[in-house]
Structure 1
Amino acid sequence: MIGPTVSSLLPLISMFRHFVWMYWLVISPLFLCHCLADEGGRIETGASTIADEYPLDWSGVGDQANQLRVSQRDGVVSFVALGNDPYFRFELPRLPATERDWILELEYFCPDGIRGIQWRSGRGIHRPAATALPSMPSAEGWTKYSFSLNALAPDVIGSDAEVPVRIDWGSRSGVQLQVRGVVVRPMNDVELRQRDEAAQRQLQKTALAERINDYRSRHWPAKTDSIDFDGERIQVAGTLSPSTVVRSAFLIARHPDSVSADPPTTAELSQRWPVTIDQDGRRWTARIDSPVGSSWLDAGVRFQLFQQTDNATTSTPTPISAARYRDLNPDAAVPPAKTLSAAKGLTCITSRFSPDQLRALGIQHASVNIVVSGLVSETARPGWEPFDIKGRTWWSNQSRLRQQDRDIRTATDAGAVVAGILLIPTSSRGRSPIAHPESTDAGTYAMPNLTDSQAVARYVAALHLLGQRYSGLHPEHGRVDHWIVHNEVDYGWQWTNMGEQPLEIFLDHYVRSIRLVDAATRPFNPHARAFISLTHRWNTTDNQHWKTYAPKAMLERLIQDSRLEGDFPWGVAYHPYPQSLWKADFWNDTQVSDDLETRLITIKNLQVLDRFMHLPTSRTVDGSVRPVICSEQGFHADEDDPKQLRTQAAALLLTWKKLRQCPSIIAFDYHRPSDHPDEGGLRLGLRGLPSQANPLGAEKPAWDVFSAIGTDREAEMIRRYQSEWEGDVGE
């Protein structure tokens, strides 16, 4: 699905292949060093000598620009974005293949900064998928910007002619950018060393991915069946396979900042609990006394069985079981939320809507963005309130929480079951302490940092605060029952950025994060459930290497990991947008099929996702079907285009007809209530763009249709709009 597996490649790699691979691996694209190529020198390639740089003149690109005003003065080229789709074209000179990567470098001045920069090159540059370039952090002085053409656009190297290039400058109108000194040059010695170090890190990641695959596929001689806490002690019990003879077995607690497939850390090995094996040699038990206040009850802790080899003083103990998470049996006095089936919902709920407006629409479900970073502090701050977790004091951001209360209460007071989407925004001005250390601002949001204990503690403190506050035990704050863990993780590079990672490493990290959310929320609300967020790219094969992944593969691995390390009640938050976000007529989608190998899952073939969720292998250990929320998807319609408005309204009606045939889908959150000016020109709202005269935007026909769904008026609406899809979609 995503090319050869790591396990199939590693045995074939000889020392020579290691060298070649190291040389050609994709490296970190953004070099922030301020070193120039050797002054006055030329680069020796072994066979010939090439120029040390090729200057690029962008002063005339205004003739090949879209929504850009371009001017030039004293060697400085100025760009002003005139719309939300600014781009220009230029010709790249012929670049010979060399030992060193070619670097495109410039200096820029841009107080606003630019994100979402894209590169297209070669023939037909209007059609191929774009390559994401590094973002330009805000710069109020002249700042260097550079990236490797070999890594990001290898098609431009070794061409026998000039290569046409198109660069898209984000999606914000009004941004002003100045550039100077635009050149293409071979990388200098500092960058060459960085490339080699990056290649070594790539090899280390490949080896870790192989260990994770081995851990997941191994036939373990021992199994952990249960881990229970009775208020005084932790009781662990398991079984041994018939052919297994165990000596000196002991239990170790694995912490959330460690990878189960790696050997335990020195700190983890410092505490061991002996294991008792029954007379038949088939059952084993272990007991951890007085765990209250210890780290053994912390969220994300799992237990693993080990056996010491004969040379106990020098050898690392051998794992004989997979790690397993503690069973949670919460008994908080919170009644369950109402049962949902194909419920109407909305995204982006804020207090600008009144509960009465949402009730009039018939909303039963709603999703609210929750920014996790900046919620807690390890030290006191003005206006922040202290709270304790296991004897440690943290401080909470009260102004942020009060705003969050208003949004969640709006939906709760309207009678909706609320989903909170947990987000960690990236920033060009500095990484949040809870953002993954390899995350870059190429992504809108980051994966949490689960690489060290302090970062984990901050993240867990924020989750604990949210889980307790919105458990339902404090009605004045509102209630959250569904916790959507990050955003569109299969498209991680943009929406849950963790840097470039193999699927195995990315998902291992993500699984630890979603389990932390489960462990921090369910003790306060036994009915809380965590959801994995995925795009419509179900089984797509055009993934960016170590940046994006197929949702089907991620779900299959999450299911396997849940069986391996202990099941927990997670669900799926799917985004079945149409094949093209610009076309609401999903019934005309062509990249879908009615089978589990379909490239995309849109509304047209939504039954495929429901079928997958009903597979015996997809269910929970007790046979229950895991729930699905269609938590973000909308239909584009410009409010000045009557045809698009009619198609949008029809799409809503056909969507609910499909939803009612998919019992695993409990809710559909339409994205969004009103059009937004910063969504790249998309007009997905049920209402138009907000204005001073109409803060919610003018109603589109879709608003009335949406309110009619599930009422006596729905049949009337179907008669009015069904000609849009009749004859184009099978039943």
Structure 2
Amino acid sequence: MLMMLRPFVLTPLLLLCLTDFASGDANDGGRSDGATSTTSGSYRLDWSRVDGHANQLRISQQDGVVTFLTQGNDPFFRFQLPPLEAAERDWMLELEYFCPDGIRGIQWRSGPGIHRPNATALPNLPSAEGWTKYAFSINEFAPEAIGSEVEVPVRIDWGTRPNIQLQVRSVLVRPINDAEMKQRRDAAEIRLKKTTLAERINNYQTRRWPAEIESVTLDAAQLRVAGTFSEPASIDGAFLIARHAESVSADPPTDKELARRWPVSIDPSGKRFNAVIASPAGSPWLDAGVRLQLVGQHDAAASPVSAARYRDWVHRQDAPASDSLAAAKGLTCITSRFTPDQLRELGIRHASVNILVSGLVSETERPGWQTIDVNGRTWWLNESRLRQQDRDIRTISDAGAVVAGILLIPTSSNARSPIAHPESTDAGTYAMPNLTEPESVARYSAALHVLGQRYSGADPKHGRVDHWIVHNEVDYGWQWTNMGQQPIEVFMDHYIRSMRLVDAATRSLNPNARVFISLTHRWNTTDNQHWKTYAPKVMLQRLIRDSRVEGDFPWGVAYHPYPQSLWKADFWNDTQVSDDFDTRLITIKNLQVLDRFMHLDSSRTADGRVRPVICSEQGFHADERDEDQLRTQAAALLLTWEKLRECPSILAFDYHRPSDHPNEGGLRLGLRGLPNDQHPLGPKKPGWDVFSAIGTEREAELIREYQSVWEGQQE
């Protein structure tokens, strides 16, 4: 995801040049710009002037950011590592980087023989569409570099692919910190616990339960539950318990959960059971995220005999429908700098905005904050922040377009948000919410309730949100929805509980509200980072299974079908795609694969409806100074909408972004250039005119003008 990059702030540390390369023996690695020692016992490295000692690399520097562009299949550079004494703590090399393509096959050579064949493979640089951290232990990967009394020459090879652009900043050699030390000491125990939990979740979802809760319906102030036993019940008795949002269904119920129970009636055949539970307003049975589970009594022991089940989704025929959408034109990053008239002129019928969930509510009084009651509890509300959000949302609503809100929890290296997951790290731009204990769930739920109520459409002055995108690019969770390192089973269990909390908070107030899972184009990738990134196809299959096991709810897919290289708009030349469900990527070129997947019987809702797709973020790079790139961007837009119209599951396509942004690592995805004094929205690119014409009579004329681009550029 590119729209939410953190602003770059220069550190006060000067990148001083301590030593220079000397022309001389190739074996000594030369002399590079050296390291600046810091008060913390660390060294800040300067890689800005190593271009004279590099191979097949174009290197440039601006504002503390070093850009490497590979120009062959053997790109490497050399620098001097400061003397690192052997100590109790490992030495770490850490940097921040931006590289949408990622780099595999990184190698490290150090010492006098840095040009000899023997090398150490470093961890890959994963694809990063925003600034993220990369660190490894020098002691582990290059122990020969430790304990020297003089500088050590080092050579780093940036893989074997040409035309890869890597941006680097804040290169640091430092002792391993306390958090990393603790993580290392606890790693084995943590891995075992997580692996065990993952196995338990898999067993829970795939086992054949003795009983099944078939329906959980709310009728006035009564909750009605009905279900069946696969065999006549052979238990002493059965009762229902509530599993709350902070609870993992696959875990054994706690004593507290078992203490609050509701008996069920079993019919004479022993095959059916039912219960009627009084559920007045404020009843804990009706809390967001609650699901019911049947527990059987065997002598003195009690254990679950069914999967847990959420309340049934009832499609309301009388609900005031939002605009019917099909391949609608949309935009990301819409703010009140646009006017509703401008959006109408563009033909915008859908748009997405970022909504920061953290910092909206507080359990303690804050100066200037207003009080609000949620489920009988008083919270303090950040009304000034919401009024700012209102302006953006109302701009879109007033233009007659449907709004999608992207729910985000920023990470911070200073202090974790109280609603951020306790294992989240600042390696990610955003965090998973904390659904591990009741207080954090209450805080998160209160914020969601505020948003659901405010943007339900009941009050036009706030605007209306119908589509709720739950966090961002969760398959690339390490960067965009960070929860620490987790098996996919654990990550998805937590994420789906968050989706269901958003669903409960929004659809109860706006029957048209729908939640969406946010995914990148990495459909069936196998080169995932262990417990950090996951394949979207597998995530969707798990979401489908959860909907079948614990009760359906109306979710959709917010997909980001960028080209395989963000630097190349000619998606028709993508090579890592195929026309089947095992394709590595889904880009615009093979978007029909995603549409076919959504039309599978297994992918549909319980009542047979096709779940909707929003292409909620995707843009085409075009530097406004490059005529060929501008023309390719314009052609890509036209061909995109031809593809979209062949995919009936796709409601809308939100183009990213209206204007270029200076902090997207050099990418120029906007329909307009960088904003300036003369052009506050940025000068128009040809793509702006093409985008305006899509869906009008002018579109056919422009297709004739531009179709030679995709026909002539096919490789």
TM-score interval, normalised by the smaller of the two chains:
0.7 to 0.9
- CA positional deviation for 1:247: 2.7
Identity %: 64
Cα deviations by residue, 1:17-52 (Å, 9 ceiling, x for unpaired): xxxxxxxxxxxxxxxxxxxxxxxxxxxxxxxxxxxx
- Gap change, CA 1:716 and 1:178, over 3 Å in 2: closer
> 1:92 offset after TM fit, Å?
8.4
Letter in 2 for 1:121: Q
- Contact 2:591–2:643 (8 Å) recurs in 1: yes
Letter of the structure 2 residue corresponding to residue 103 of structure 1: W
Note if 1:360 corresponds to 2:345.
Answer: yes
Say yes or no: does 1:475 pair with 2:460: yes
Mark the CA change 1:190 to 1:539 in structure 2 (over 3 Å): closer, same or farther: closer
Distance 1:136 1:724 in 2: 33
Structure 1 residue 692, shift from structure 2 partner: 2.0
Q: Secondary structure at the match of 1:650?
A: helix
**Given residue 456 of structure 1, which amino acid in structure 2 is its aligned partner?**
V
Find the counterpart in structure 1 of residue 258 from structure 2.
269
Tell me the distance in 1 between the aligned counterparts of 2:443 and 2:97. 28
In the alignment, does 2:290 pair up with 1:310?
no
CA contact (8 A) 1:606 1:658 kept: yes
Amino acid in the other structure paired with 2:466: D
Q: 1:298 to 1:659 in 2, by over 3 A?
A: same
- Using the TM superposition, give the Cα deviation of residue 105 of structure 1 relative to its aligned residue in structure 2, in angstroms: 6.5
Q: CA–CA distance in 2 between the matches of 1:433 and 1:411?
A: 31
* Cα distance in 2 between the residues matched to 1:639 and 1:548: 34
Which residue of structure 2 lines up, in the alignment, with residue 586 of structure 1?
571
Determine helix, strand or coil for the equivalent of 1:724.
helix
* SS, match of residue 226 in structure 1: strand
Letter in 2 for 1:692: D
Q: Would you say 1:236 and 2:225 are equivalent positions?
A: yes
Alignment partners' CA distance in 2, 1:489 and 1:189: 28
Q: Residues 84 and 172 of structure 1 are in contact (CA less than 8 Å); yes or no, is this contact kept in structure 2?
A: no
Q: What does 1:327-346 align with in structure 2 at a 5 Å threshold?
A: 327-329=312-314, 335-346=320-331
Q: Does 1:103 align with 2:88?
A: no
Match of 1:165 in 2: 156
Q: Is the 8 A contact 1:59 1:77 kept in 2?
A: no
CA contact (8 A) 1:332 1:523 kept: no
State which drifts further: 321-330 or 451-460: 321-330
Encode CA deviations 1:269-322: one digit per residue, 9 max, x unaligned: 11011111111111101222244322110110000011122233xxxx221100
Contact 1:517 1:530 in 2 (8 A): yes
Contact persistence 2:502–2:515 (CA under 8 A): yes
Cα deviation for residue 198 of structure 1 reads 2.2
RMSD: 3.7
Deviation string 1:601-637 (CA, Å, 9 cap, x unpaired) is 0000000000000001000011110000000000000
Which secondary structure does the structure 1 equivalent of 2:558 belong to?
strand
2:286 alignment partner, one of 294, 297, 300: 297
Correspondence for 2:184 among 165, 190, 195: 195
Amino acid at match of 2:238: A
CA displacement, residues 506-560 of structure 1 (integer Å, 9 cap, x when unaligned): 0000000000000000011001100000000000001000000000000001000
The answer to whether the 8 Å contact 2:335/2:391 transfers is yes
Aligned to 1:596: 581
1:251 corresponds to: 240
**Partner deviation per Cα, 1:464-516 (whole Å, 9 max, x = no partner):** 00001101111110000000000000000000000000000000000000000
Offset of residue 327 of structure 1: 2.1
> Is the CA contact 2:279–2:286 (under 8 Å) kept in the aligned structure 1?
no
User: What SS does the corresponding residue of 2:711 show, helix, strand or coil?
Assistant: coil
> Is the contact between residue 342 and residue 660 of structure 1 (CA under 8 Å) also seen in structure 2?
yes
| Aligned residue among 213, 219, 224 for 1:224 | 213
Contact 1:61–1:90 (CA<8 Å) still a contact in 2? no
**In 2, distance between residues paired with 1:62 and 1:378?**
58
Question: Quick one: distance in 1 between partners of 2:134 and 2:576?
Answer: 37
Residues 530, 569 of structure 1: 8 Å contact kept: yes
Question: Which residue does the alignment assign to 2:652?
Answer: 667
SS in 2 for 1:369: strand
1:202 offset after TM fit, Å? 1.2
State the SS of the aligned residue for 1:356. helix
After superposition, residues 369-408 of structure 1 pair within 5 angstroms as 369-408=354-393
Give distance in 2, aligned partners of 1:105 and 1:639.
37
In structure 2, the CA distance between the partners of 1:464 and 1:77, relative to structure 1 (3 Å rule), is closer
Tell me how far 1:379 sits from its aligned partner. Answer: 2.0
- Which residue of structure 2 lines up, in the alignment, with residue 25 of structure 1? none
8 Å CA contact 2:108–2:121 kept in 1: the answer is no
Partner of 2:405: 420
Count of aligned positions: 642
TM-fit CA distance, 1:693: 2.1
Q: CA deviation at 1:368?
A: 0.7
Counterpart check, 1:655 vs 2:643: no
Query: Per the alignment, do residues 458 and 172 of structure 1 end up closer, same or farther by CA in structure 2, a change over 3 Å counting?
Result: farther
Q: Which runs of 5+ in 2 are unaligned?
A: 1-15, 24-31, 49-60, 69-76, 110-118, 147-151, 160-164
Change (3 A) 1:427 1:116: farther
Tell me what 1:500 maps to. Answer: 485
Structure 1 range deviating more: 498-507 or 394-403: 394-403
Amino acid at match of 1:272: R
Change beyond 3 A, Cα 1:122–1:190: closer
Paired position in structure 2 for 1:109: none
Distance 1:613 1:62, change over 3 A: farther
Distance 1:437 1:204 in 2: 16
Q: 1:705 to 1:127 in 2, by over 3 A?
A: farther
Partner amino acid, structure 1, of 2:615: C
2:232 and 2:422 map into 1 onto residues whose CA distance is 44
Q: Which residue of 2 aligns with 1:19?
A: none
Structure 1 contact 372–462 (Cα < 8 Å) conserved:
yes
2:554 partner letter: P
Offset at 1:391?
1.4
User: Which amino acid in 1 is paired with 2:91?
Assistant: I
The equivalences for 1:70-89 within 5 A come to 79=46, 82=62, 85-86=65-66, 89=77
Would you say the 8 A contact 1:252–1:306 is kept in 2?
yes
Query: Are the structure 2 counterparts of residues 665 and 189 from structure 1 closer, same or farther at C-alpha, using a change threshold of 3 Å?
Result: closer
Task: Name the CA distance, whole Å, in 2 between partners of 1:155 and 1:432.
Answer: 34
Whether the 8 Å CA contact 2:78–2:153 is kept in 1: the answer is no
Q: Which moved more, 1:607-616 or 1:189-198?
A: 189-198
Please report the TM-score for the alignment, with normalisation by the length of structure 1: 0.81
Partner of 1:40: none
Q: 1:465 aligns with which of 450, 458, 468?
A: 450
| Aligned partner letter, 1:217 | T
Alignment partners' CA distance in 2, 1:388 and 1:188: 42
Residue 130 in 1 paired to residue 125 in 2? Answer: yes
Amino acid at match of 2:210: P
Distance 1:285 1:353 in 2: 55
Residues 476 and 534, structure 2, Cα contact 8 Å, conserved in 1: yes
Q: Tell me whether 1:641 sits opposite 2:626 in the alignment.
A: yes
The answer on whether the counterparts of 1:121 and 1:155 sit within 8 Å (CA) in structure 2 is no
Q: 2:434: which partner in 1?
A: 449
Letter in structure 2 aligned against 1:270: A
Contact kept in structure 1, 2:235 and 2:297, CA below 8 Å: no
Alpha-carbon distance in structure 1 between the residues aligned to 2:453 and 2:177: 53
